[in-house]
Structure 1
């Protein structure tokens, strides 16, 4: 992982074993990590059920915020690849935050991930878009 990339807010891929060692305590029983990415202190992890967002706060990083986005709530994904200059790649996911996905007043949110120029984000986009497409079909059938 490039420190310069981390300072600029770009995620870099981390091995599943390293993520398991560092963040395994946040997993539910029988939940497995598939892949993950890390900033200097923060991380996001794909499991078989959710995205785990880990935000180390404060000067020391001892205070930690952990949030989850369930994969079955993702309904839209957009991707922007890096351009020339200092442009980075980014993926934005849109997801349902309401507990009932078919309710009349569905609440939504979005989350943006930024990656360095050298990282190919297409595989992540395709994975998330596949999930979003399946969710859209399930929700609208």
Structure 2
């Protein structure tokens, strides 16, 4: 089922040990992976500082794109649970991409994570929404 889910663009959870062994070189000093997920080749993981998105490109997957979304830039989170049929569960984060958060010209972006029907996305939503709420309070203080 894992490969089938991966082919349908659904993430499945991966152990912290496996992610650390494979992607530990991308961590900043003292940074720790808290949880992570994987498609067939691509992965994303939550650390105590950021989300790390790993995109293996090309036929062999040797070319790799690594991107980060800092947790302190997330300001909104939406969740959509799976319905009937082929619907998947989704969590979408909205985050600030400009280097200065308190400015008149803030740049933003969104990123959508898709999970299989049976995956419970509520804990991820609550964790990210808690971060977004704290960020909103800090940014609007």
Asked if these proteins are the same fold (TM beyond 0.5), I'd say yes
Q: Distance in 2 between matches of 1:60 and 1:82?
A: 32
Alignment of 1:5-84 (within 5 A): 5-84=5-84
In structure 2, the partner of 1:125 is 125
What RMSD, in angstroms, separates the aligned Cα atoms of the two structures? 0.6
Local SS of the residue matching 1:22: helix
Q: Distance in 1 between matches of 2:52 and 2:14?
A: 14
Task: State the Cα distance separating 1:104 from its structure 2 match.
Answer: 1.1
The TM-score, its normalising length taken from structure 1, stands at 0.99
Which segments of 5 or more consecutive residues in structure 2 lack a partner in the other structure?
A: none
In structure 2, the partner of 1:88 is 88
What whole-Å deviation, never above 9, does each CA across 1:27-63 have from its counterpart, x for those lacking one?
A: 0000000000000000001000000000000111000
Q: Distance in 1 between matches of 2:51 and 2:135?
A: 15
Local SS of the residue matching 1:30: coil
Q: Distance in 2 between matches of 1:68 and 1:111?
A: 11
The TM-score, its normalising length taken from structure 2, stands at 0.99
Q: Distance in 2 between matches of 1:60 and 1:116?
A: 26
Task: State the Cα distance separating 1:103 from its structure 2 match.
Answer: 1.1
Task: State the Cα distance separating 1:107 from its structure 2 match.
Answer: 0.3
